Amino acid sequence: MRLLVLPGDGIGPEITAAALPVLRAVSNRFHLGLQIEEDVVGHESLRRRGASVRPDLIEAVRKADGLVLGPTAAFEYKDEINPSMFFRKSLDLFANIRPSRTYPGVKQRVGAFDLVVVRENTEGFYADRNMESGGSEMLVTKDMVISLRRITRVCCARIARAGFELAQRRRKHVTLVHKANVLKLGDGLFLEECRNVARDFPGVSVDEVIVDAMMAHAVRNPQRFDVIVTTNMFGDILSDLTAELAGSLGLAGSLNAGDHHAMAQATHGTAPDIAGKNVANPFSLVLSIALLLAWHGRRKKLKDFETAAAAIESAVEAAVAAHEATADVGGKLGTREAGGALAKRLGG
């Protein structure tokens, strides 16, 4: 498996440097034969190459078997390309898979739970990806903005199928989150397509929850949920909420997946306030890489990759329980040291 690694901005280079020994350790232990190539995007690419994403980089990504992207500074790019958005759109990474689970050793705010938010990644209210001509926000007058949302049958159907396929591997329960009581056409179409897909999965139970009520249910009783399928903006907000309820965004892995490509990407941002201080938690990126390895294993029918991914997840759980982690999850180690200790657990 050829992996292209792009460290990104802020804490990105630190957590990537801490994650790579883990990746090499698991490759050696399970004989994965990983080939790891590094390049730059974001501010480092601007400094070296004059662009946040150089034109030929997308071809290098397409030739790789997977992409690892560190956090990138979306708000800081004005006339430059946002790397995260660029790869999601260019590679048609329509499914954003965001697990949230509690860990022994981390204070539990609402009790133990284990769920996954499956978020549509390519349309909705996100102005940078839902119009062929560019942004979907219009400044009509200096005092008036109109924002457009795109919802399509094909995108609703494929994110629903991704969620139901995942539920079949878990506890066989899907929750559809929507606002069809107000957004009758858009979210109505989303529900219609999800219900159509559900017919292909008779062994999976389904319920439907309005998004504002869902926020209350997630806080009150997250244990009732298994796989949550929803549209782009609702999924973005809900997955951050559930990650924090689980203990920390530093333990929240994330995979952006399509039919032919996938990108591991930590859920959190660049955290410039702690960049360079060796305190950032590398485990979100490590867990994202585990999701990427499992995706590749299922796609290529390579069981060793799925086994390696499970080993990473188990090692993270053990490390957190033993306080071999950063301070945000009760540990006493720095970024580099947490990555090194985890690699050692995996045989590195």
Note the pLDDT tens digit of each residue in 145-204.
988 899 999 999 999 999 999 999 999 999 999 999 999 999 999 999 999 999 999 999
CA atoms within a 13 Å half-sphere pointing along the CA-CB vector of 302 = 17
Assess whether 223 and 309 both reside in one domain: no
In a domain, 96, yes or no: no
98 part of a folded domain: no
Whether residue 145 is found in the same domain as residue 242: yes
Give residue 129's pLDDT. Answer: 61
Round the average pLDDT of the chain to a whole number and report it.
93
Q: Which of 223, 246, 269 is the last residue of a domain?
A: 246
Which of 39, 92, 240, 304 is an active site residue?
A: 240
In terms of domains, do 190 and 319 share one? no
Report, as an integer, the average pLDDT of 132-154.
86
Q: Which pLDDT band holds residue 132 (cuts at 50, 70, 90)?
A: low
Residues 37, 63, single domain; the answer is: yes
Query: Exactly one of 9, 187, 226, 236 is catalytic; which is it?
Result: 236
Instruction: Categorize the per-residue pLDDT at 74 as very low, low, confident or very high, splitting at 50, 70 and 90.
Output: low
Q: How confident is the model at residue 130 (pLDDT cuts 50, 70, 90)?
A: low
Is the predicted pLDDT of residue 280 greater than 90, yes or no? Answer: yes
pLDDT band (50, 70, 90) for residue 82: confident
> How confident is residue 77, by pLDDT bands cut at 50, 70 and 90?
low
Q: What proportion of the chain, given as a percentage, has pLDDT over 70?
A: 96
For residues 67 and 130, membership in a common domain is answered with: no
Instruction: Give the CATH number, domain containing residue 164.
Output: 3.40.718.10
Domain boundary among the residues 246, 266, 287 is at 246
- 15 and 49 fall within a common domain: yes
In a domain, 101, yes or no: no
Domain boundary among 200, 225, 246: 246
Pair 232, 127 in one domain: yes
Q: Would residue 304 show up in a list of annotated catalytic residues for this protein?
A: no
Regarding whether 262 and 239 lie in a shared domain, the answer is no
Residues 166 and 207 reside in one and the same domain: yes
pLDDT band at 80 (very low <50, low <70, confident <90, very high): confident
Whether 220 has a pLDDT exceeding 90, the answer reads yes
Number of domains in the chain: 2
Per the residue annotation, which of 77, 126, 187, 226 is the catalytic one? 126
pLDDT tens track for 157-168: 999 999 999 999
Residue 329 clears pLDDT 60, i.e. is over it: yes
Kindly name the residue from 207, 212, 259, 277 that is annotated as catalytic: 212
In this structure, the answer to whether residues 163 and 239 fall within a common structural domain is yes
What pLDDT is recorded for position 335? 98
Same domain, 221 and 196: yes
Residue at 34 is within a domain: yes
**pLDDT of residue 107 exceeding 90:** no
Residue 102 included in any domain: no
Per-residue confidence (pLDDT) for residue 78, from 0 to 100:
65
Q: What is the pLDDT of residue 163?
A: 98
Range of the structural domain that residue 208 is part of? 108-246
**77 within some domain:** yes
Report the pLDDT value the prediction gives residue 75, as an integer from 0 to 100.
56
| 100 inside domain | no
240 is catalytic: yes
Active site residue 200: no
Q: Are residues 114 and 211 in the same domain?
A: yes
Evaluate whether residue 229 is within a structural domain: yes
